[in-house]
Amino acid sequence: MQNSGDLNDLLNKIKESEEENIAQKLAEILNLNYFNLKVKHPNPEALKIIDKNTAQKLLILPIEKKGKNLIIGTINPADDRVVKFLEGLKKEGYNLTIGVISRSSFEKGIKDYEFVKKSKTKYTQILELDIEKVQEIISELKEKEDLNKIIQSLEENNILSILDYLIAGAIKFDSSDIHLEPTEKEIEIKLRIDGILYNVANLKKSIYPVIKNRIKLFSGLFLNITQKPQDGRFSISLGNKKIDIRVSTIPSTYDETIVMRLLNPEKILLSLNELGLEDYELKKIDYHIHQPNGLILNTGPTGSGKTTTLYAILKKIKRKEIKIITIEDPIEYQIEGITQTQVNLSENYTFATGLRSILRQDPNVILVGEIRDKDTAGIAINAALTGHLVLSTLHTNDSLGAIPRLIDLGVDKSLIPSALRLVIAQRLLRRVCEKCFEEYFPDQNIIQLIKKNLNNIPQDIYQKIDFENISLVKTKGCEQCFYTGYRGRIAIFELLEISEKIQEIIYKNPNEEEILKSVQKTGFVSLRQAGILKALKKITTIEEVERVTGKLI
C-alpha cells in the first residue's frame, strides 16, 4: 500500500496533467497558442518587460522577446485587466503573440524572476553577491580541494548557493575561467589558474540543470536551446567592485558544456609599464604608438593578453586632442574618453562595415578587435595609409607570420610596407611563487642551451649576462600559491619593426624563414629568447619557458 506522501505526489501529478489539458483545450477554442512553462522557460530579457508584481496580479508571464516581438502567456486571456494591459504594450510598439498557460505552469515560470535583476548596463545583468558572504567563503577555502567538499555538502540542501561558491572560489584562486564539463556520470568543474586547468570539484548530474539554467538566466541565454552554441554575459557586484563574466555554452556528448570567463578590470586595465615589458621593448612600442599613422598588429592565441596590451596602449595615448574609436567583439571594458562600439552581426555591423563607418567619424586612432578577412584587412591598411593610427590583432603564431598572413588574406603586398609599422607577438608565463621558490645552479648542458638560444640577441643585452655564474629558480609549492609553485603571470613579447630591409623583402612575397634571417641582424628578440631572459632574472622557470615556447634545442 502507498504511503500518504506517495499518494499526494500522485494526486498532484494528476491535477497538473488535467490543468495542462484544460489550458490546451482553451487555447484551441480561442485559436491561440498554448505554452507549457515546464518545458519552455521564460527568457530573462522578456521578464524585464513586465515586473513580477504585475505578472502575479494579472496572472500573465512574458515568455520570449526578440526585438519588438514579445510572446506572452496568460491563464485567462479574456480578463478585462489583461486585455487592457496588453493594449498598452501594443501602444509601446510591441508585436504580441498571446498564448494560454495553466496555473501550475504559471507558478513554475514565476519562480524565474528570483534569478533576474534589472540590468545596470546595456550588456549585462547584475548578480549581487553579499560581500561578507563571499569573504566568508573565501576564508573557508584554504586549498583547491576544499571547493569539492563544500560543493558536495551544498548538493544535499542548498543547490542555488553552488554558483556563488564557484564564483567566490574563482576569485579566491585568481582564476580566469570556470569550466563545467559534463561526462557520462558527473559534471567536472575546472578552474583555469595562471593559464593551467585544474579539476577542483565534481557535481552530480541530477542537479546540473538547476545550475545550468541559473547561469543561463543571468546570461540572457535561452533555456530551451541546448543543441546550439550560445554566448552571453552578466556581472557580479562585490561592494564597489564589479567583475564581468562572459558565458559560452556548446552542446556536447552528455550535456551542454559551459565556460565562464571572469573579466576583472584590475587584471586587464593595466598600464604598459605593468605588463612586463623590458626597457628596450617599451621604447620601441612607445615610439610607434605616438606616430600619427600606420598599422600596429598584435598577434598570439586566445588568452595570451592581446586585449590587455591594446587597452594599455589606448590608455597611454588617449588625450582630449585626439579622437579614438574602437570596434570590438565584444567590448571587454569601458575606457573613459574613448568611443567604443561592438560588432552586431544581426544588424550587419561587422568589423569591415563598422570600420567603414568609423572612418566617416574622422578619428585619429582606430582599434579594430580582429582582422579576420580580406575586407577588414584592406580597409585597415588603407586607413593606416591615409593618416590614421590603426591598432588590431591577427591570429598567427608569432610576429614573423603576420606579413604572410596579410598576403594570404588577399591584401595587395605593395601596400603593406608603407602601412605596417610594428608587429607585436606575446605570450603569458607563470611567475614563480615568491614565497617558496628555490634557487639552483644549472648543469653545463642547460647553460650551453641557454647560450646557444641567446646567440642572436642584441649585443648590448647579451653582454650583460654573466654566463659563468648563472643561477635559476625552481618551484616548490606552498599554501600561498595553492601548492602549484607559481603565482600570477607576466607577458613576454616579440617585436618586429618594419625596417627598410623588411620592406624590401615584403615586395618579394616572403616566407617566415626569410624574414627571420633578415631581422636577426637588426636587434630582434624572439618569444623564446624573451622567456629565457625572464628565467635568468628569476621571474619564472626554464620549464615554464619550454612549456609556452617549446623545448630548448
Q: Residue 326 sits in a domain of what CATH number?
A: 3.40.50.300
Same domain, 272 and 233: no
Integer angstrom CA distances of residue 527 from 43, 296, 486, 548? 46, 18, 20, 9
Find the range with the poorest average confidence among 11-25, 158-172, 441-455: 11-25
Boundary residue ending a domain (231, 263, 295):
263
Q: Is residue 488 part of a domain?
A: yes
Domain that holds residue 467: 267-549
Length of the chain: 553
121-134 core/surface letters (b: 16 or more CB in 10 A; e: else): eebbbbbebeeeeb
Please, are residues 160 and 151 in contact by the beta-carbon 8 Å criterion? Answer: no
Same domain, 161 and 64: no
Same domain, 231 and 327: no
Same domain, 86 and 164: no
- What pLDDT is stored for residue 466 in this prediction? 92
- Rounded to 5 degrees, φ, ψ at 187 are -110, 120
Same domain, 410 and 523: yes
- CA 171, 192, 326 angle in degrees (round to 5)? 80
Same domain, 160 and 103: no
Q: Is residue 378 part of a domain?
A: yes
Per-residue pLDDT band for 488 (boundaries 50, 70, 90) equals very high
Cell of 110: 514565476
* Arithmetic mean of pLDDT, 109-138: 62
Same domain, 259 and 275: no
Q: For every residue of 313-375, which 3-state class applies, written as one string?
A: HHHHHCCCCCCEEEEECCCCCCCCCCEEEECEHHHCECHHHHHHHHHCCCCCEEEECCCCCHH
Same domain, 244 and 289: no
| CA atoms in the 13 A half-sphere facing the CB of 151 | 25
Structural domains in the chain (count): 3
- Rounded to 5 degrees, φ, ψ at 182 are -70, 135
Boundary residue ending a domain (263, 297, 316):
263
Same domain, 255 and 278: no
Helices (H) and strands (E) in the chain, counts: 22, 20
- Between CA 115 and CA 126 the distance in angstroms is 10
Task: Tell me the pLDDT tens digit for each residue of 53-106.
Answer: 788 888 999 998 887 789 999 998 888 888 888 887 887 778 899 999 998 889
Same domain, 428 and 411: yes
Boundary residue ending a domain (263, 290, 305):
263
Q: Is the pLDDT of residue 123 over 50?
A: no
Per-residue pLDDT band for 142 (boundaries 50, 70, 90) equals low
Same domain, 239 and 320: no
Q: Is residue 54 part of a domain?
A: yes
Cell of 137: 567563503
Q: Is residue 322 part of a domain?
A: yes
Same domain, 298 and 179: no
* Arithmetic mean of pLDDT, 293-297: 98
Task: Tell me the pLDDT tens digit for each residue of 194-249.
Answer: 999 999 899 999 889 888 988 887 887 888 888 999 988 888 777 667 788 999 99
Give the E-state strand segments of 210-338 in sequence order.
230-238, 241-251, 256-263, 294-299, 324-328
Q: Is the pLDDT of residue 2 over 60?
A: no
